[in-house]
Structure 1
Amino acid sequence: MDGDFFFNLSVYLDPQAPIVFVASLTTEASDGGLSFSMTFQPLESADRRTPTGSPFDVGPYELSEDGTFTAELPTIVVPGNANPFSGSELEATITLAGTLCAPADFVCGDVTGTAARPVQLDLRGSTFAMDRITDPSSYPAAVINCKKDPARPLP
């Protein structure tokens, strides 16, 4: 499960325009089970490739035996150039409720929580999808949910 993933957070207002990150995932043994932590690096919305802003660390979160997890992230701030909706800095507190899909190359699930700025918004109904990055020079195609529906192509 350890490695880099192309992380797409798809807000229900415009699900095909995800907020995109590279998420570096690491696992560790904990209390007879497994937990994971992640480092998120926001990417510019214009190309979904160029790092922007500072990376942030979250975790550890427990991973259940069946591959499900709930990750309550601390408040995060995403630079405006990573926000495909308004281009304004985004502040949100989110929870990821997801499933690791065998063979540990795809993780997906639902997003709940709230955005505090640029507008206050309940994020219930949003989704996320993470595809393993096998070649750092070529990220996977952006998908927005567990069905692997594609994100809107970049102009």
Structure 2
Amino acid sequence: MSKLTTEARDGGLSFSLSFQPLESADRKTPTGEPVDVGPYEVSADGQFTAELPTIVVPGNANPISGNELEATITLTGALCAPADFVCGEVTGTATRPIALDLEGSTFAMERITDPSSYPAPVINCDRDPARPLP
């Protein structure tokens, strides 16, 4: 779960993120520590690059292995108009549970207007669906 906040700055726009890992079992229950990052500058056409600090995600938020994850990542993407969808590419490295180059990974964030009715999760700018829960 994440919250994106925009702010007018120096004749332009910036954003900050606050995000909270969610348990993989239901993709709704918060787990672990929330992370606050930013602000990051946004260009006139909505593009941005956000170099995040090293992040640790608890194992119960990892649907693949259930192991704790640690990664240092950069998000390169766009705030799409209207600002209900943010997506792009991920670069960086995961160091736990295994060392892994994240080049070629993608991300997507979509505004949730009704917390009792989540939209189907998507994984990239093409809005490809995330895998169903097991």
Q: For this structure pair, what is the TM-score category when the shorter chain's length is used for normalisation?
A: over 0.9
Normalised TM-score (structure 1)? 0.84
Number of equivalent positions: 134
Secondary structure at the aligned position of 1:111 is classed as: strand
Q: 2:85 aligns with which of 90, 96, 106?
A: 106
Q: How far apart are 1:55 and its partner, in Å?
A: 0.5
Residue of structure 2 equivalent to 1:150:
129
Gap regions ≥5 residues in structure 1: 1-21
1:115 partnered with 2:99: no
Q: CA RMSD in A?
A: 0.8
Corresponding letter in the other structure for 1:101: C
Corresponding letter in the other structure for 1:147: D
Residue of structure 2 equivalent to 1:9:
none
Normalised TM-score (structure 2)? 0.97
Equivalent residues in 2 for 1:69-84, closer than 5 Å: 69-84=48-63
Distance in 2 of aligned mates of 1:25 and 1:110: 17
Deviations 1:69-121 (A, max 9, x none): 00000000000000112111101000000111111111110000000111110
Q: 1:91 aligns with which of 56, 60, 70?
A: 70
Distance in 1 of aligned mates of 2:62 and 2:41: 29
**Among the aligned pairs, what percent are the same residue?**
81
Gap regions ≥5 residues in structure 2: none
Distance in 1 of aligned mates of 2:35 and 2:118: 20
Q: Which runs of 4+ in 1 moved over 3 A?
A: none
Secondary structure at the aligned position of 2:29 is classed as: coil
Q: How far apart are 1:23 and its partner, in Å?
A: 0.8
Residue of structure 2 equivalent to 1:62:
41
Secondary structure at the aligned position of 2:20 is classed as: strand
Q: How far apart are 1:137 and its partner, in Å?
A: 1.5
Residue of structure 2 equivalent to 1:134:
113
Secondary structure at the aligned position of 1:42 is classed as: coil
Distance in 2 of aligned mates of 1:30 and 1:75: 26
Deviations 1:24-58 (A, max 9, x none): 11111222211100101100111111111111101
